Amino acid sequence: MKIAIIGGTGDQGLGLALRFVKSGEHVIVGSRDIKKAENAVKLIKDMLNDENLPNLSAMTNEDATTNGDIVVLTVPLQAQMITLKSIKEYVQGKIFVDATVPLEGCIGGKPTRFVDLWEGSAAERSAAFLGNDVRVVSAFCNLSAASLTNINEDVECDCLISGDDSQANAIVMELAEKISGVRSIECGPLENARIVEKITPLLINLNIRNRIKLAGIRITGL
């Protein structure tokens, strides 16, 4: 299974790519600029201290989407729609994972404030735009980039997953648990992404207030 990470040169995308490659998954780092994708691949190799990683490659977003079995979007809010437009024709029939969080900081405001979208959540906006032939799942938005790139430590956080297709949810849940320390939890239909996405600004606020970087969330009693 090939995982295409669209916007994989940013902190979140780089962190996910790093973790998946470390776990042995085949990862394609996508970017609008192939040079940036290649630089991200080099950085991952340096961080893992391994120049020979046949399960890691760099492509443009369009090529990464075409070649990926699962497509993961990790761009900031302001780049979500323009990126979706560029890959829409290539993602049809696939599982599409949206890790976008509507943060006010993405549009010049405070990083601890949530932006209410007409569709209810970033993931629902992706689903509405991409159409019925794409199985959209909301995941990874509450895993911090700092934890993901802290490669020598487990990620102490549950991954909250929402989606309308139970088979797609199960595949993404299994993928999430490839990340050491992560437990995946299915949170119901995609509309629940509007609740889950709001956890991220809360975690950012906790990081700022406590002068830390690795705040995460655990669900107990399950």
Instruction: Report the CATH number that the domain containing residue 201 is assigned in CATH.
Output: 3.40.50.720
Does residue 65 form part of some domain?
Answer: yes
Residue 196 inside a domain? The answer is yes
Q: What is the mean pLDDT of residues 192-217?
A: 93
> Quick check: is 216 in a domain?
no
132: in domain: yes
Q: Is residue 70 part of a domain?
A: yes
The reply to whether 81 falls in a domain is yes
Q: What is the C-alpha end-to-end distance of the chain, expressed in Å?
A: 29
How many folded domains does the chain comprise?
1
The pLDDT mean for the chain works out to: 94
Residue 219 lies in a domain: no
Residue percentage of the chain with pLDDT more than 70: 97
Determine how many CB atoms are found less than 10 A away from the CB of residue 8. 32
Residue 13, pLDDT score: 96
Better pLDDT: 36 or 103: 36
- Which of 37-41, 52-56, 115-119, 185-189 has the lowest average pLDDT? 115-119
Query: Which residues have CB under 8 Å from 212's CB, separation 6+?
Result: 206
Residue 111 confidence (pLDDT):
73
Structure tokens given for 30: 């996508």
* Nearest CA-CA partner of 108 in 78, 83, 80, 79: 78
Q: What is the pLDDT of residue 39?
A: 97
| Domain region containing 71 | 2-210
* pLDDT > 80? residue 60: yes
Residues 76-89: what's their mean pLDDT?
A: 95
Does residue 90 fall inside a structural domain? yes
More confident residue, 163 or 52: 163
pLDDT band at 114 (very low <50, low <70, confident <90, very high): confident
Q: Answer yes or no: are the C-beta atoms of 186 and 173 closer than 8 Å.
A: yes
pLDDT surpassing 70 at residue 192: yes
Q: How far is CA 177 from CA 46, 96, 180, in A?
A: 24, 17, 7
Nearest to 211 by CA among 114, 143, 146, 115: 146
- pLDDT at residue 106, rounded to an integer: 67
Residue 152 in this model has a pLDDT that exceeds 70: yes
Confidence class for position 87, pLDDT limits 50, 70, 90:
very high
Task: Report pTM.
Answer: 0.94
